[in-house]
Amino acid sequence: MRFVTYTHPDDGERVGVLDGDVIHALEPGLRLLDLLGDDGERLDAAGRRALSDPRQVRKKEEATLLAPLPQPPTVRDFMVFEQHVEGVAKLADPQATIPPRWYEAPAFYFTNPYAIIGPDEPVPIAPGSGAFDLELEVAAVIGRPGTDLTPEQAESHIAGYTILIDWSARDIQFAEMQVPLGPVKGKDTATTLGPALVTPDELASARRGKSFDLAMTASVNGTLIGRDSLASMAFSFAEMAAYASRGTWVKPGDVLGSGTCGGGCLAELWGRYGRDAHPPLASGDTVTVSVERLGAITAQIA
C-alpha cells in the first residue's frame, strides 16, 4: 500500500491510502507515526480499513501532499552509490579516488528533521548560497525499534520506502567540510520526502542483488541530468539499518536516506565535466525526480 499525509481545506491534515489518483482517508487525528511500532500489522489494518470504509475520499489533485512523516524523529543520510561518490570527489581533485574506508561500512551523517518538507511544497534556497543543488535518493523508514541488529534482523524493521531529495548548498557545504566537521548548514534548509510511504511488498518483485531494480531519474527544467537504478547501491537498506543500530537504537519513524544515486545531482556533473556543465539551481527552476514504483516529485525552487 501507499500511505500519504495531506491537507485539504475541508479535512485539515490527514493520513490516507493513495489508490491511483484517489486518497482514502483514515480517521482524523491519526498520524502515520502512530501506525508504526510493530511488524506492520497496524499499518496494514489501517490501510485495509481505509480502502474498504474510508472516512473521506479525495482526488489527489484536490489535496496538498505533505511529507508522509512531516517530522521524523531522526534523519540519517548515507552515501552508498559508488558512481556518485567518485564523481563528487573529482570536484576537489580530478585525480581523486574513492577512499578504501567507503567500501568497509555504510557511512552516514545526521541531518535536520525540522527541515522536512512535502512534495507539493516550494523549496527554499539556503541563505547565502550561490551553488544550490538537488540530490535524488530513496529513504527507508524504520517501523519498529531495534538495537545491535544484524542485517538479517534489520530487514524486518523497515516499514516502507519513499523518495528523498537532499537539497544541498554546495558552496556552504564544501566550506564547512574544510574544518572538517561534516556538511551541517550546507544541508540544513530543506529535505523533501514523498510522495508516499510505500510498503515493502510493493517492491518485492523488483528485488535484485542488495536492493531493487527501480529506475531513478532527475531533471531540471525539463532536461534530464542523470539516471540510475536503485540496484546500484553498494550496501543494502538492511545493512544501513544494522550499522545505524550499532551500540544505539533505531526507532519507529527514523528515516535512512540512501545517498545520491549516480547522476542524481549537479555536483557530480561539475566534478566530471566542470562547473560550466550546468548552472546551480535558482529561484523559479523546476526539479522533477522519479523512482519507479515509488512515484515522482516536481518541486519548485523558491
Q: What is the pLDDT of residues 58-89, one digit of tens each?
A: 999 999 999 999 999 999 999 999 999 999 99
pLDDT at 300 over 90: yes
Q: What is the pLDDT of residues 257-290, one digit of tens each?
A: 999 999 999 999 999 999 999 999 999 999 999 9
Q: The pTM is what? A: 0.97
- CB of 242 closer than 8 Å to CB of 78: no
Strands 255-257 and 75-78: parallel
Q: Which residue, among 205, 245, 230, has the nearest Cα to 138 in the 3D structure?
A: 230
Is the same domain home to 15 and 87? no
Split into its structural domains, the chain has a count of: 2
Residue 70 lies in a domain: no
Is the same domain home to 142 and 89? yes
Binned at pLDDT 50, 70 and 90, residue 181 comes out as confident
Which residue among 12, 42, 65 closes a domain?
65
Which residue among 15, 36, 65 closes a domain?
65
Is the same domain home to 94 and 58? no
pLDDT at 182 over 80: no
Residue 175 lies in a domain: yes
Q: What is the pLDDT of residues 201-241, one digit of tens each?
A: 999 999 999 999 999 999 999 999 999 999 999 999 999 99
Give the burial class of 34: count Cβ atoms within 10 A of its Cβ; 0-12 exposed, 13-18 middle, 19 or more buried: middle
**pLDDT recorded at residue 180:** 83
Cα 49 from Cα 55, distance rounded (Å) = 9
Residue 166 lies in a domain: yes
Residue 190 lies in a domain: yes
Q: What is the pLDDT of residues 112-170, one digit of tens each?
A: 999 999 999 999 999 999 999 999 999 999 999 999 999 999 999 999 999 999 999 99
Domain CATH number, residue 91: 3.90.850.10
Compute the mean pLDDT over every residue in the chain, rounded to the nearest whole number: 96
Which residue among 41, 65, 89 closes a domain?
65
- CB of 107 closer than 8 Å to CB of 85: no
Residue 254 lies in a domain: yes
- Alpha carbon of 49 to those of 17, 26, 202: distances in Å? 10, 8, 18
pLDDT (mean) for 39-44 = 96
Domain residues for the domain of 46 are 2-65
Is the same domain home to 294 and 247? yes
Is the same domain home to 43 and 135? no
- CB of 54 closer than 8 Å to CB of 11: no
